[in-house]
A and B are shown apart, each in its own frame.
Chain A
Amino acid sequence: MTQAQWEIILLASLTAMACSLPGVFLVLRRMTLLSDAISHTVLLGIVAAFFLTGSLTSPWLIIGAASMGVFTVVLVEGIQKSTLVREDAAIGLVFPALFSLAVLLISLFGKNVHLDLDSVLLGKIALAPLPGRRLEIANLDLGPKSTWIMGSILLANLVFILCFYKELKVTTFDPAFAKAIGFLPGLTHLGLVVLVSITSVAAFDAVGSILVVALMSAPAAAAYLLTDRLARMLLLAPLLGMASAVAGYGLARVLDASISGAMATAAGGVFLLAFLFAPRRGLISQWQEGKFRRARLRLSMLAVHLFQHQETPLQEVECREDTLFEHLLWSPGLTRRVVEHSLQQGLVEREKNFLQLTRQGRKLAMEVLQPGQAVFSPGSE
């Protein structure tokens, strides 16, 4: 591979990692759609800053875009606070409006500038290694500028999360408690929004606006399915993001297609894998555990049924093996299987036509009915 290709892979990985870090908190705080809105509205910030400064490379662009991200969130929350419009609708109102304003401004005044919409949507990652987009100090080629920008954003995200780890953790899981012990959930929220906005702007340049959302949500959500610990999630999400970036680049090479589109597709693939195969949380292991639990549940159901009707006048009817299925409304075959299983496990005994609980079966029934106080038997006292 050429140096340029390595540089693209590095930039893609940095972008994915930088996005997935704040993404973890967005997923946990159910704010991912806000990032969708932000990634659209930063365009207006870029346009505004461009018209004010007349340059497409000035740091004002990032500042303008980031403040537009914050403004979006403030606007959404303001509309929501009026109680006239709910959150989902408020988001659905704000970002199309701001995005449309940006598009309109571009088409009105930006016809002669190089701010074309395709690159806004697709990003320009493939162009990053080209001459003129490189950082050179004293004739020393230090690589693409975008790599340095993305690297600093990643670093900023890391520093923010490390410094405010405690605050972020507490305000994410229990804002009321966080407030009570003197943390400022509002401030943490704002910090996160600023972080998301800045990351969106930088990533926007590389991978385009809508794919930022993929990199913020998919790796973080996949990590969420793989672990229960916040710290591990923060470790896993960037790794999965990097994997998506590398796989996406490969895919794009093979198909000779858009790198950012392929990265988003790969991120979706990574999430799909986690969704299907994650241990304990994945669809397949849930299904297996469900099967196992259903079998165990049926054993307890039989035990409870017998327990409830033993030594009652209805015993004659309810505990007969051959009519049991009518009462439990199981198929005869299923009933037979469950009875066999219970016999094997030593939970019931056959006595002529009747089924009777063994001591173990009785214990199981009581544990089920009175969790934690198995000694209690109904009707005592």
Chain B
Amino acid sequence: MPETPAHNAVDVSDLTVSYREKPVLWDIDLEIPQGILVGIVGPNGAGKTTLIQTILGLITPLAGSARLLGQSPKKALKQVAYVPQRGTVDWDFPATALDVALMGTYGRLGWFRRPGAKERNEANEALERVGMTSFAHRQIRQLSGGQQQRVFLARALAQKAKLYLMDEPFQGIDATTEAALVELLRDLRNRGATALVVHHDLQSVKEYFDWVVLLNIRKIAAGPVEEVYTEANLKAAFGARVPLGK
């Protein structure tokens, strides 16, 4: 096991975010230690995506603040990888899987430098880790949903980050890819990285994650899965209709 790092992966205090004066997140406090997999769970419109984007500094909060790895978000960005929802980009864009993975190295290159052989190697390695080597030169529209998600993950891997923020990576992908993704997340965790994953399948939360954050505009609960993932908390987050099978 890697030694316990000095800082939390994410410290959020009193975070309130509004969209056009309509609150989307109310007074959130979160402390997430490093080296764990965290599922962020809540009903539609609970503010899961907003939480991730605010943590990244993409949205300016109305009040409160976030710190990543003990630093301000701006300073920490080089160690953070963001995987947006798959639907937010244009898959008809003229780019191959390798091109997309290569974008993960851009953060290290600064304003002017172009990616060279070293970056290309890193991107290829990242593709290999997600099992996409043989598709490296395919245009991204010609990949299945699961393969597209793998490419996104390869891009994040190429960032060599300590903290991964992923928005619904399991949406619309096949079972094989889902299993591979989970395996990869565990591997990342075992190397000491932290991942915050917006997740919507309540059945698999216990299996996939160490921690869970239950969210519905406010924080309902956050902590280790076995303590926090209770029927009462789920009810509080989802209202009366708890879609938990068992």
A–B direct contact (CB < 8 Å): yes
Q: Which of A293, A318, A328, A330 contacts B21 (CB 8 A)?
A: A293
Contact of B63 among A329, A373, A378 (CB under 8 A): A329
Q: How far is the CA of A294 from the CA of B62 in the complex (A)?
A: 10
Stretch at the interface among B10-18, B94-102, B160-168: B10-18
How many residues does chain B have at the interface if contact means C-beta atoms less than 8 Å apart? Answer: 23
The answer to whether the Cβ of A63 comes within 8 Å of any Cβ in the partner chain is no
Q: Is B217 an interface residue (CB 8 A)?
A: yes
Asked if A308 contacts B21 (CB within 8 A), the reply is no
Q: Which residues of B contact A (CB under 8 A)?
A: 13-14, 16, 18, 20-23, 26-27, 29, 61-65, 217-218, 220, 232, 235-236, 239
Q: Chain A residues with Cβ under 8 A from B22's Cβ?
A: 293
Q: Is the pair B18, A381 in contact by a Cβ cutoff of 8 Å?
A: no
Closest approach, in angstroms, between the C-beta of B149 and any C-beta of chain A?
22
- For residue A305, CB closer than 8 A to chain B, the reply is yes
**Would you call the interface of chain A mostly helix, strand, loop, or mixed?**
helix
Having A297-B18, A297-B21, A318-B14, one finds 20 other A-B pairs with CB under 8 Å, namely: A290-B21, A293-B22, A297-B23, A300-B23, A301-B16, A301-B23, A301-B26, A304-B26, A304-B27, A304-B218, A305-B14, A305-B27, A308-B29, A327-B64, A328-B64, A329-B63, A368-B23, A369-B26, A378-B220, A381-B232
Contact A327 B14 (CB under 8 A): yes
Contact A301 B65 (CB under 8 A): no
Q: Report the nearest A residue to B236, measured CB to CB.
A: A378
Q: List 24 A-B contacts (CB under 8 A).
A: A297-B18, A297-B62, A300-B23, A301-B16, A301-B63, A304-B26, A305-B27, A308-B27, A308-B29, A308-B218, A318-B14, A327-B13, A327-B14, A328-B63, A328-B64, A329-B14, A329-B61, A329-B63, A329-B65, A368-B26, A369-B217, A373-B239, A378-B236, A381-B232
In the assembled complex, the Cα of A376 lies from the Cα of B235 at a distance in Å of: 11
Collect the chain B residues with CB atoms within 8 Å of residue A330's CB.
Answer: 63
Report the number of A-B residue pairs with Cβ-Cβ less than 8 Å.
Answer: 50
Task: Judge whether B62 and A301 touch: CB under 8 Å.
Answer: yes
Interchain nearest-CB distance for A270 vs B (Å): 26
Interface residue count for A (Cβ, 8 Å)? 20
Compute how far the CA of A318 lies from the CA of B26 in the bound complex, rounded to whole angstroms: 15
How far in angstroms is the closest Cβ of chain B from A57? 48
**Restricting to A145-184, which residues have a CB under 8 Å from any CB of B?**
none
The residue on A at minimum CB distance from B18 is A297
When distances are taken between beta carbons in the complex, the residues of chain B under 8 Å from A304 are 16, 26-27, 218
Residue numbers in A under 8 Å from B217 (CB-CB): 369
Chain A residues with Cβ under 8 A from B27's Cβ? Answer: 301, 304-305, 308
Name the CB-closest residue of A to B20: A290
A319 to B16, CA, bound (A): 16
Nearest chain A CB to B175 CB, angstrom units? 29
Given A301-B16, A304-B218, A308-B29, A381 contacting B23 (CB threshold 8 A): no
Task: Assess the A328–B220 pair: CB atoms within 8 A.
Answer: no
Q: Which residues of B contact A381 (CB under 8 A)?
A: 232, 235
Q: B63 contacts which chain A residues (CB < 8 A)?
A: 301, 328-330
Interface residues of A in 275-291 (CB under 8 A from B): 290
CA distance A293 to B62 in the complex (A): 13
Nearest CB of B to A369, in Å: 5
What sequence of 0s and 1s flags, for each residue 356-381 of chain A, a beta carbon within 8 Å of any chain B beta carbon? 00000000000011000100101001
Closest 9 CB pairs of A and B: A293-B21, A328-B63, A381-B232, A327-B14, A304-B27, A369-B218, A305-B27, A304-B26, A308-B27
Distance of A328 Cα from B22 Cα, bound (Å): 17
A308 to B18, CA, bound (A): 18
Give the distance in Å from the alpha carbon of A305 to the alpha carbon of B239 in the complex. Answer: 22
Instruction: Give CA–CA (A308, B22) in the complex, Å.
Output: 19
